[in-house]
Structure 1
Amino acid sequence: MDTTQLLKGVLDLAVLAVLREEDGYGYDILRRLRTAGLEEVGDASVYGTLRRLFQNGLLTTYVVPSEEGPHRKYYALNAAGRTQLAQSGKVWRSFASTMDNLLDEPGVAA
């Protein structure tokens, strides 16, 4: 199964989850997603997701000067983002549980 389509549907949730514990800048968030097992996520997808989540009021941003190059724009979850993460997490867990049950049913090919 091509995981690209699955990833499109859960990238918002994955980005929110990565930012739950620690703020991050674009490339850092991309690296953390890939380290977590989402190796196929694309740069443009992550940067577009960050912009959209910010525009939707789920993230705040701030700029940190860098001695190694251009300033870095950091993204952080705000209260609305934490609420969205909790709600989307519940939906995901319910969906994943339903799929697990379907796949575990006798007669369903694994």
Structure 2
Amino acid sequence: MSAVTLLWKCKIPGNANMKKACESLLTQLAREHGMDTAIVRKEPHNTTRVGRQYVNTERHITGYIINNKAQTGYAVHIYVDNKDRVLLDQKDKPNTEMWELKHKQDKGFVLIGEDGTETVHDI
């Protein structure tokens, strides 16, 4: 099992169980996809940004899993219930949503939208 570096880009939760859940979920996901870094972007919350607006969504943990050597990665949402337990996959909706990140020399990691627009992610 390869080592995964874990970083926090948000305030670390005061609740020890939530801290452990965020760390273990993202670290496990990073290992499954051959990544060397897991980044917790936001502890469980129920909003997401669409364009320039925040909209209500299902409760989720936001993070990144990155392979620094290959300069590839994913932005991820892991869905949890109101007691912060991981939701099971459903037939029409997998629990973990992932969006591929591309590394661009002059920009860093970017998320390329379906319409071709690039959003720079500060990782």
TM-score w.r.t. length of structure 1: 0.28
TM-score w.r.t. length of structure 2: 0.26
Bigger RCO of structures 1 and 2 (CA < 8 A, at least 6 apart): 1
Higher strand fraction: Structure 1 or Structure 2? 2
Q: Of the two, which has the highest radius of gyration?
A: 1
Higher helix fraction: Structure 1 or Structure 2? 1
